Amino acid sequence: MQKRAISTICAISMLICLLLSTSTGMSAEASDNRSMLDGSYLTNETESTGTDIKITRGENLQVGYSKIRKVKAGVIYAGGTTIGQHTCKSIQITVSVERAKWEDEEWEVVEVWHKENTDADLVSTSKKLEVEGGWYYRVVCIHSADGDMSSSATDGLYVEEP
């Protein structure tokens, strides 16, 4: 009886391990098939958010985000947020909207804007933009808080023609 219980437990454990390794392998293979351009996947999703990658280490910048969302064919919402660790003399964000075709080797800048808040711990900005369909669009932001800097980028979203 004891040998049978141990055999059953071993068989169940092996089955679970087999299932886990199969599902992990499938998801890794699926992600490898996606096209990437300058660190951004080209997708057909409806929105994407990017989190900052620290360029300098400091005590002023907590985190930065970039965001893009398809509103409808030919219209996107783009923007970003910079959050400081504390109230900063100057907290800033520069937002760049870029586009590319599937076969392109680099992104093309469509629009750029900048916002700064003084004596604050947060700055945020966004715009609703009419864009040309048939392109992938992404948002790249530069975040700054009293000299600490980082950047963030979203994945590229395919925008249909209106």
Q: Distance (Å, rounded) from C-alpha 112 to C-alpha 97?
A: 6
22-59: per-residue pLDDT in tens? Answer: 333 333 333 446 699 999 999 999 999 999 976 666 78
Q: Is the dihedral of CA 64, 52, 84, 91 positive or negative?
A: negative
88-108: per-residue pLDDT in tens? Answer: 999 999 999 999 999 999 999
Domain ranges of the chain: 2-33, 37-159
pTM of the model: 0.78
Q: Which amino acid appears at position 21 of this protein? A: S
Query: Is 90 exceeded by the pLDDT of residue 3?
Result: no
Domain 37-159 = CATH 2.40.10? no
